[in-house]
Amino acid sequence: MQKKKKNKTLKIPIILSVTFSVAIIILILIFTVDAKTLDQLSVISIKYEYFAIAILLNILYWVLWGARLKVLANTMDKSVKISWLESTRIVIANLFLACITPSMAGGEPVRIHLLNKDGMSIGCATAAVLGERLMDAIFILILVPIALFIFREVRDLGFISLGLTIGVIFFILLLIFFIYAIIRPEKTKSFLIGINKKFSRFSKKKDIGKKIVERINCEVDNFHNSMYSFSRGNKKSLIFASLLTVLFWSCGFMIPSMILLGLGLPPFFVESYAAQILLLVIIMMPTTPGSAGVTEVGIYGLYGVLIGTAQNTLIGVFIVLYRFVTFHMNLIAGAFFQYRIFKSVASFSLDMIKKSDEKCESK
C-alpha cells in the first residue's frame, strides 16, 4: 500500500510537468502556426542533419556532465574511485526527477544516493553534488551581465525582465548560503539540529532524534572537510572541473542554434548563447515541476526577439523541437536509467537514510 502511495505521489509531478509543457506549446502553436507557417515549411530546405547534431550535442552534454561529476567525486573522497561510465550513468539517471521538480532539484538526491551507493559517504557525496551547483551558479552569474549587454532587447519584455531580476537575486542568496555553510559548519549543524528538533516532536519514535543528530554531525563534518580540501588543496581538479563546467554548458547552449539551422534560419550563435544564459536564470527558480510552461514562455520571449517578425511563424515549431531534445529526451532517458537502477523510482530515499545511518555508526 505504501509503495502504491509513493508511486501515486510521484505521478503527480510527472503529469503536471508534461501537461504544463504540452499545454503551453499547444497555445504557442495556436497563436504562431498558420497557413503562412505551412507555406514556409514547404518552401525552406529542412536540414535534418542539424536536428541529429542537436540530439548528439545533448548526449555529449550528459557525457561531459558525467566527467565533471567524476572529477568532483574522486577529489572529495580519495578512497573511492568513480569511473567516467558510472558517473555518466548517475547523471542520466538523475535527469528523470530533475525534469519533474522545480529548479531541477529532484536530481540532486538521486546523484547523492548513487555516489553513496558506490562507496562515498553522504557528506562527501553531498559536497560533490553541491559543488556542481556552486560552479554552475558562479559560471552563470559571471555571464549574466555579458548576456544582458548582448541581449539588450530583453529589457523591453516586462515578464522576462522580472524573471531575470528574481532569478539573479535567488542565485546570489543561494551562493551566499552555500559559502556560509562551508565557512561555518558549526552554525550549519545548529541550524539543521534545530529544524530536526521541531520536526521530531511529531515523531512517535523518541530514540530516532539522537541518531539523526549523530548523522547531521557526521555528514556536515564530511561535507565541510571535503569542500575545504577541494577549494584549498586541489587546484588542478578545481581548474579541470571549471573547464568541464564551461564545456558542458556551452555544448548544451549550442543545441538551439543547430535547430535554427535545421529550420533554415540563421544560427545566432552568440545571441543564442546569451539567450540560454538568461533562460537558465529564469528556469532555475523554483516555480513549476521541471519549470514546464515557464521555459516555453521564456523561449518564446527570448527567441521571438532573435528570429524577428519576418520568421516569427516558425517560433512554435522551433519550441517544439527544442523542448523535445532538451526536456522530453532527458525525461525518457532518465526514466529508463532510473528504472533500470531502482526498479521502482520511489525506493531510493529509504535506502539512502539506512546507508547514511550505517556510515555514521561505523565511525
Which three cell numbers mark 157? 519584455
Task: For 303-337, write each residue's pLDDT tens digit.
Answer: 888 887 556 678 888 999 999 999 989 989 998 88
What confidence tens digit (pLDDT) does each residue in 222-267 have?
Answer: 566 666 666 665 778 889 999 999 999 999 999 999 999 999 899 9
Nearby residues of 300 by Cβ (< 8 Å), 6 or more positions away: 28, 315, 319
Residue 212 three-state SS: helix
- Other Cβ atoms less than 10 A from the Cβ of 313: the count is 19
Distance CA 183, CA 191 (A): 14
Pair 340, 273: CB distance under 8 Å: no
Residue pair 159/273 in contact by the 8 Å Cβ criterion: no
pLDDT digits (tens, 9 = 90+) for 62-94: 999 999 999 999 988 888 899 999 999 999 999
Give the global pTM: 0.79
Residue 86 burial (10 A CB sphere; 0-12, 13-18, 19+): middle
CA dist 169 and 286 (Å) reads 13
